[in-house]
């Protein structure tokens, strides 16, 4: 995410396409193996990292990732790290240390085995153990260690598009391809036959059922995958987002797809709209369910973020309820694995609604091939370890929570 930031002090966007792809690959491997890399570096430092070494750890971690886990010659990775240290005003005093540590790490070689959770922040893995138990937490940790596949939501004929693109049609209706290559070069992109959307992220909008000639509101709508689904289903959609720039990208994407929606810039917590039959709230969250796709998330979040985000989500849920016409449906979802941002939110909402809001359970047969993601309470809880495949490049899902609610 940092590589794609609007403010680009690193000069990433000035690189040519091949170098940008290499940079992304190095960053991805480094972040996915960061716990292991950090441990290897620490084992070579008797006194720990210098306190005023600037980006010293990052310089050594990226070099070690290239030498140990990528097909990049070790001497090249080490030499570039030494040069990088010398170019930094803080790290330049420790270029000799960088050289010595990395040569030791390279000589020892990559570890043949690491424990589950080794490459995740301890607070996050401990949370998953508490929420899902050691076995499922371990399966999640192993799943997020792999790069995510490329999932597409197609306007029609998933099997045909899978054959045309050399992928596979998932039982949930998405088309899955191995990661890699330019998305815009794929068949069907220019003519708007599909859009990129993780197979788990495509589930919530499908929980409304028949939306033909119905009004729908998509709150926190950007980047627009769910808006596109609602429009494709025949709904008259109002897409709401706080960011005018993100909404412009949303409408551009809809234009490519030949779909339309009314875009409204505004805060979902306070925007005034005519109540609709269907309201979708994909709430801001910790995004811990997307770690396999965005490995930086694990290292950028803190445990304290969860409670702050849960408070925000509760306010957004109350606002969303007010936008549902009597007898209509509200679908709430987050790309988080944390129960406070999912199950607990809905339990609290139902309790404080005094009978106005009720859970409309999702039935297992509504998710063909993924019935294990339907909980006993009728919620949807996908895990990164779901949809395993022999080829890990075609395996897994983002971690998502979704609940379907009736508002009277």
Please identify which of the residues 335, 349, 370, 403 carries the catalytic annotation: 335
* Pair of tokens at residue 148: 């995510």
Neighbours of 212 (CB within 10 A): 7
Are the C-beta atoms of residues 337 and 285 closer than 8 Å to each other? no
- Give the closest residue to 324 by CA, choosing from 279, 281, 360: 279
Distance from C-alpha of 280 to C-alpha of 330, rounded to nearest angstrom: 6
3-class state of residue 393 by DSSP: helix
Residue 23 annotated as part of some ligand binding site: no
Are the C-beta atoms of residues 171 and 198 closer than 8 Å to each other? no
* Pair of tokens at residue 353: 């609604």
Could you confirm whether 285 is annotated as catalytic?
Answer: no
Helix-strand-coil split of the chain, %, nearest 5: 45, 15, 40
Query: Per-residue b/e over 384-402, b at no fewer than 16 CB within 10 Å?
Result: bbbbeeeeebbbbbbbbbb
- Give the closest residue to 195 by CA, choosing from 257, 107, 249, 266: 257
- Give the closest residue to 86 by CA, choosing from 55, 61, 64, 47: 55
User: Do β-strands 215-219 and 236-241 pair in parallel, antiparallel, or remain unpaired?
Assistant: parallel
Residue 282 annotated as part of some ligand binding site: yes
Distance from C-alpha of 195 to C-alpha of 254, rounded to nearest angstrom: 10
Q: Cα-flanking dihedrals φ and ψ of residue 88, to 5°?
A: -100, 135
Containing 218, the helix (H) or strand (E) segment is strand 215-219
Distance from C-alpha of 172 to C-alpha of 201, rounded to nearest angstrom: 11
Residue 361 annotated as part of some ligand binding site: no
Residue 223 annotated as part of some ligand binding site: yes
Residue 221 annotated as part of some ligand binding site: yes
Residue 318 annotated as part of some ligand binding site: no
Output the CA angle 226-332-193, nearest 5 degrees. Answer: 10
Per the annotation, where are the binding residues for S-adenosyl-L-methionine? 220-226, 241, 282
Residues marked as catalytic? 335
Residues making up the binding site = 220-226, 241, 282
């Amino acid at each position: 995410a940092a590589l794609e930031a609007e403010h680009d002090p690193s000069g990433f966007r000035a690189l040519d396409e091949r170098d940008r792809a290499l940079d992304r690959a190095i960053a991805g491997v480094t972040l996915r193996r960061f716990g292991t890399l950090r441990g290897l570096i620490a084992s070579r430092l008797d006194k720990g990292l210098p306190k005023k070494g600037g980006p010293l750890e990052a310089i050594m971690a990226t070099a070690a990732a290239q030498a140990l886990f990528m097909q990049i010659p070790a001497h090249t990775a080490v030499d570039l790290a030494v040069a990088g240290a010398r170019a930094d005003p803080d790290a330049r005093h420790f270029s000799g240390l960088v050289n010595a540590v990395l040569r030791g790490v390279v000589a020892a070689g990559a570890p043949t085995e690491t424990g589950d959770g080794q490459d995740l922040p301890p607070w996050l893995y401990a949370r998953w153990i508490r929420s899902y138990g050691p076995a499922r937490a371990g399966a999640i940790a192993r799943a997020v260690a792999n790069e995510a596949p490329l999932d597409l939501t197609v306007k029609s004929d998933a099997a045909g598009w899978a054959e045309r693109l050399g992928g596979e049609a998932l039982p949930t209706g998405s088309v899955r391809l191995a990661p890699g290559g330019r998305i815009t070069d794929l068949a069907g992109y220019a003519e708007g036959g599909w859009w990129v959307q993780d197979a788990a992220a495509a589930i919530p909008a499908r929980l409304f059922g028949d939306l033909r000639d119905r009004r729908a509101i998509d709150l926190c709508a950007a980047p627009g995958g769910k808006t596109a689904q609602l429009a494709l289903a025949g709904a008259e959609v109002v897409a709401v987002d706080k960011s005018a720039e993100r909404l412009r990208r949303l409408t551009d994407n809809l234009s490519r797809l030949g779909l339309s929606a009314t875009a409204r810039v505004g805060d979902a917590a306070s925007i005034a709209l005519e109540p609709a039959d269907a309201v979708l709230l994909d709430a801001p969250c910790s995004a811990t369910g997307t770690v396999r796709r965005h490995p930086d998330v694990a290292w950028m979040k803190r445990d304290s973020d969860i409670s702050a985000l849960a408070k925000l989500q509760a306010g957004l849920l109350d606002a969303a309820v007010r936008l549902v016409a009597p007898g209509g449906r509200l679908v709430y979802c987050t790309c988080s694995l944390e129960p406070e941002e999912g199950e607990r939110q809905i339990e609290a909402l139902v309790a404080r609604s005094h009978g106005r809001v009720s859970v409309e359970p999702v039935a297992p047969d509504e998710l063909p091939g993924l019935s294990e993601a339907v909980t006993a309470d009728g919620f949807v809880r996908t895990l990164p370890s779901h949809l395993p495949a022999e080829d890990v490049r075609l395996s897994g899902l983002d971690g998502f929570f979704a609940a379907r609610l009736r508002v009277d």
